[in-house]
Amino acid sequence: MTHHPTQSPQFFLTAPSPCPYIEGQFERKVFTHLVGDKAPELNDLLTQGGFRRSQNIAYRPACESCRACISVRILAGEFKPTKNMRRVSQRNADLIGALHDAEPSTEQYSLFRSYLDHRHRKGGMSDMTVLDYAMMVEDTHVTTKIIEYRKRGPDTFITGKGVGELIAVALTDQMSDGLSMVYSYFNPELEDRSLGTFMILDHIARARAAGLPHVYLGYWVNGSRKMNYKVRFTPQEHLGPKGWERYDHEAVTP
């Protein structure tokens, strides 16, 4: 009898480390490698099961005493923007997002560096070099794209010229059932534009146009104020013990 080797992924557990979101808590993660021809299919299954991708690693929280991290996905087809979100879209009507292959550039890194220095000076990514950034973008075995947001030029749709400076960037995985926002950053001096919100709204529009039902936002951490923005995009689903369940906005603790 011929023996066929299994292709099941191997999972590993990290050592405890201080939680970046909830003071006094410690986090652990379970992770596996996303490599080879089956990586896109595996990434789909794992993302639907609450994992996130970072380069060629898929991971999810496996903390011993805390379950605050909850996977969130927006129901793109049912989404209805709030009045404030419509104002954000209008405020950024002069921007255009161009889809590119996952290739880094010095212009991207310059914006990325400015974003980290202003927003995450003490974060785990604060010391990332240009090589680290290139690895974050390029080290993928799944269908990953870069969306660059620039000011719309007078002849953008004719010659491709006339576009302005790079204002925001999203690193996004294209999956069978939606778009997964891996990482996004923007010009921190343009706070009045609410560019983080705008990029999520743009991804919802892109998912709907492609007939994809979901936009995956990663983890919402109940109790972390800087994560509260994720639950404003409703309707959405949260992954719990019974699987993906529709989220009730009224049930959130302020």
pLDDT in single tens digits along all 254 residues of the chain: 444 444 688 999 999 999 888 888 899 999 999 999 999 999 999 999 999 999 999 999 999 888 899 999 999 999 999 999 999 999 999 999 999 999 999 999 999 999 999 876 665 676 789 999 999 999 999 999 999 999 887 665 555 555 688 999 999 999 999 999 999 999 999 999 999 999 999 999 999 999 999 999 999 998 778 888 999 999 999 999 999 999 866 544 43
- Same structural domain, 139 and 105: yes
Residue 3 falls inside a structural domain: no
- Same structural domain, 94 and 35: no
How many C-beta atoms lie closer than 10 Å to residue 67's C-beta?
Answer: 10
Cα distances from 10 to residues 46, 51, 205, in angstroms, run 13, 14, 36
- Same structural domain, 22 and 64: yes
Hey, which residues does 221 pair with through a beta bridge?
Answer: 69
Q: Which residues contact 105 (CB under 8 A, 6 or more apart)?
A: none
Domain count, the chain: 2
CATH code for the domain of 200: 3.40.630.30
Q: Which domain holds residue 64?
A: 12-68
Q: The whole model's pTM is what? A: 0.89
Q: What is the pLDDT of residues 15-57, one digit of tens each?
A: 999 988 888 889 999 999 999 999 999 999 999 999 999 999 9
- Same structural domain, 89 and 61: no
106: burial class by Cβ within 10 Å (0-12, 13-18, 19+)? Answer: exposed
- Same structural domain, 41 and 111: no
Q: What separation, in Å, do the N-terminal and C-terminal C-alpha atoms of the chain show?
A: 61
